[in-house]
Structure 1
Amino acid sequence: MNTFSLYVTACLLFMGFGAHAQDTYYCLPCNNPCDDIAFNAPGKCTHCNMELVKQTKEEHERLAKKDRLKVAFYLQNGVEVLDFAGPLEVFTYAGFEVFIVSKDKNQLFAQGVLRITPDYDITNAPAADIIAFFGGNAGKAANDPDVISWLKKQTNVQHYFSVCTGAFILGKAGLLDGLTVTTFHESIEGLQAAVPQAKVLSNVRYVDNGRVITTAGISAGIDGALHLVAKLRGDEMAKKVAAYMEYDKWVPDQGMVAKQQ
């Protein structure tokens, strides 16, 4: 073999085209730049600290596309920042695709300080696997016939998720009838009056009815979101997300599971 042939062979081996192509490892999709980084040894991702899994590039891309659940966050003007920001962190680090929907595409003000531009309005929002609602002026959406009509028309939704008084929006659409649910501690009686067909609990972080998950106020949304991640992606994924967020207050199964699904 001449010198040029040896050089070409060495290059091909280095690029992985030889008989002993180097194994590749990827972290689970987490919506971060490390999603596209291939590692050459097992261990943990140096960016997101997720466990690395041995995969070919094709397997990794196929898995990421298949498992990328779409989550629609409906936000209204005056929405509570932590109500949605906490679950947003959880779902994105778990590899879900989150997008923002509102009544229209006008800029929103969360608690009067944070400016948010929705990705979609209710006329053009894509289908979602999970639809989430949040507190902070939630009555604006709950009492808007157009928003409730849009919600009722959504099909093939795997899970409905609410934080704080976002439960009132689900209740107005009839999605809480006959269920055990919860909401912000100061709104327990109000939700019970608004949805008399539901059983509204206090002193619980979240209630899982299988398809519908409601949580208590503000920080409880993080617990509910981690519970949903554990339900859909396994306990280890949820624990890794909590650890990455340094959320050491999470206790698995701290909420109530009213119905398995």
Structure 2
Amino acid sequence: MRVVFLLVPHVHLLDLAGPAQVFSTVRDLRLGYELHYVAEQEEVPTAQGVPLRAVVEWPRLGRDDLILVPGWRSLTFGERHGMLTGSTRARIAAHHAGGGTVASVCAGADALGQAGLLDGRRCTTHHGLQDYLARRYPQARVVRDVLFVEDERVVTSAGIASGIDLALHLVATRHGPAVAAQVAREMVVYARRNGDAPQHSAMLRHRDHLSDVVHRVQDVIDDRFADRLPLRDLALAAGVSERTLTRAFGEATGLTPLRYQQLLRLERAEHLIGHGATVEAAAHATGFEDARMLRRLRARA
């Protein structure tokens, strides 16, 4: 997968560095990522004063690739710093038309608007720019008070640190929430899907803590949630007593290890059922002894 960061003059460093760190960490997991930094000129000034070097030649992109536009410092959208050439706008539009995904952080939403990709779609941007975005693109449906919004492979985020949430969401969508949680843990940030995300994965929802003991146990459960996992084995894996594990797990997640495992099983079973599997087949695939327990958990949920 190629991730192309389109750098606009006066780009905000964190708008760029947050998502770049996420995808470079995924690359370090040997999942086949390439990161590219392109611009309309080789030297790009940043809002924080550190100049960046980029290439002007775009790599060849396919439908599995991503274009991401970090935000830039501008009092309003449409200032000369954010205006793209016709060829750049056409590249963004053509990539999306060919089945690719485009994303933005903060003011980067304006680049997607210039490419005609916000009309008729839900989107967001930094809270200080939402009114201007709505005025500049009246056919766009600006969503407020969310971290990010995804609409037909157009993904926009609120700005600054929310670019990390956007990138983790894209990783979770492509590789599953366990990989996203692993990346977030490496970055020492909360793994979360917030804002407009329609699915709130249990793996990410209960990873918003910094307990290394609990993370180690969650790593085991995430990898083997369909197996029988006695509490003593989990405690042994974490190097603590069963009582200590139960207390720490509850403090960090509000759950017992068994309840967390059940949530993962239920979430996976619902996915299988939604794709045509019977309740019995889904129960078997996710480690339930029979379908009755799965039915009870679904009814309770």
Using the size of structure 2 for normalisation, the TM-score is 0.58
- Does the 8 A contact of 1:182 with 1:200 survive in 2? yes
Q: What SS class does the counterpart of residue 110 from structure 1 fall into? A: coil
When the two chains are superposed, the root-mean-square deviation of aligned CA atoms in Å is 2.0
The 5 A counterparts of 1:24-103 are 69-95=1-27, 96-103=33-40
Q: Find the aligned partners of 2:113 and 2:3 in 1 and give their Cα distance.
A: 19
Q: Answer yes or no: is 1:117 the counterpart of 2:41.
A: no
Q: Answer yes or no: is 1:149 the counterpart of 2:86.
A: no
Q: What SS class does the counterpart of residue 68 from structure 2 fall into? A: strand
Q: Compared with structure 1, are the counterparts of its residues 211 and 190 closer, same or farther at alpha carbon in structure 2 (3 Å cutoff)? A: same
Q: Find the aligned partners of 1:195 and 1:134 in 2 and give their Cα distance.
A: 19
- Does the 8 A contact of 2:72 with 2:82 survive in 1? no
Q: Answer yes or no: is 1:226 the counterpart of 2:158.
A: no
Q: Compared with structure 1, are the counterparts of its residues 158 and 124 closer, same or farther at alpha carbon in structure 2 (3 Å cutoff)? A: closer
Q: Find the aligned partners of 1:153 and 1:251 in 2 and give their Cα distance.
A: 31
1:214 to 150, 153, 156: 156
- Does the 8 A contact of 1:180 with 1:258 survive in 2? no
- Does the 8 A contact of 1:142 with 1:148 survive in 2? no
Residue aligning to 1:238: 180
- Does the 8 A contact of 1:164 with 1:217 survive in 2? yes
Q: Find the aligned partners of 1:204 and 1:187 in 2 and give their Cα distance.
A: 13
1:187 to 129, 134, 154: 129
Q: Compared with structure 1, are the counterparts of its residues 258 and 191 closer, same or farther at alpha carbon in structure 2 (3 Å cutoff)? A: farther
Higher relative contact order (CA 8 A, sep 6+): 1
Deviation for aligned residue 1:77: 1.7
Q: Find the aligned partners of 1:150 and 1:103 in 2 and give their Cα distance.
A: 12
Q: What SS class does the counterpart of residue 114 from structure 1 fall into? A: coil
Residue aligning to 2:205: none
Which structure's residues are more often helix, by fraction?
Answer: 2
Q: What SS class does the counterpart of residue 128 from structure 2 fall into? A: helix
- Does the 8 A contact of 1:208 with 1:258 survive in 2? no
Give the partner amino acid of 1:175: L
Residue aligning to 1:54: none
Deviations 1:49-93 (A, max 9, x none): xxxxxxxxxxxxxxxxxxxx1010000121000001000001111
Unaligned runs of 5+ in 1: 1-68
Give the partner amino acid of 2:143: L
Give the partner amino acid of 1:162: S
Give the partner amino acid of 2:3: V
Q: Compared with structure 1, are the counterparts of its residues 257 and 179 closer, same or farther at alpha carbon in structure 2 (3 Å cutoff)? A: farther
Residue aligning to 1:199: 141
- Does the 8 A contact of 2:38 with 2:58 survive in 1? no
1:126 to 52, 55, 60: 60
Using the size of structure 1 for normalisation, the TM-score is 0.66
The 5 A counterparts of 1:13-24 are none
1:256 to 180, 196, 216: 196
Which structure's residues are more often strand, by fraction?
Answer: 1
